[in-house]
Amino acid sequence: MRNDHGLCACGSGLRGVRCCALDLSMLPPPEAARPPIPVVERAEELHRQNNRAEAGKLCREVLELAPGQPEALSLLYRIHAEAGLESAANALLRRIVTLHPNTFWATNELTLALLKKGASPRPRSTPATRYASRRRTRNRTI
């Protein structure tokens, strides 16, 4: 049996079932996340006052209730990135891009993080892929 109460291995501070092991099909519609907005606004205010610990705590509380809440995810990402928790920040960034793919800043940040790690957005060329590419080109001309 899986331990649903343990913290996620990525280091975000969220339970695994509310983070990397989240079943996206179980998320409520975005309108259901409206009540936590004042809590997220309070967390933003605490973050501006450099009280990252309390701001992070409020974000985690919101994400326990509404795991896809974009503002809470974004703020928690910033908190972890500023603290140098790269693994947790990248996990949150991936979740933002997965849940809200039209969020340009998050997509851009994730691309930069992947490039920084040396990950290529395109598949690497191998002898097998080069051979397959040449073969397709020859077949078109025949």
d(Cα 8, Cα 112) in Å, to the nearest integer? 24
| Predicted local confidence at residue 92, as pLDDT | 93
Q: Which tokens sit at 116? A: 């920084």
What is the end-to-end Cα distance of the chain in Å, rounded? 58
**Chain length of the chain:** 142
Q: Tell me the average pLDDT across 108-131.
A: 70
pTM beyond 0.75: no
Q: Tell me the average pLDDT across 90-112.
A: 91
Q: Which tokens sit at 98? A: 């997965």
Q: Predicted confidence band at 139 (pLDDT cuts at 50, 70, 90)? A: low
Task: Count Cα neighbours of 126 within 13 Å in the Cβ-side half-sphere.
Answer: 3
Contact of 47 with 63, CB cutoff 8 Å: no
Q: Tell me the average pLDDT across 106-121.
A: 82
Closest to 19 in 3D by CA, of 6, 35, 29, 31: 6
If one counts every other C-beta atom within 10 angstroms of the C-beta of residue 71, the result is: 17
Alpha-carbon torsion (91, 97, 103, 109), positive or negative: positive
Q: Is the pLDDT of residue 83 over 50?
A: yes
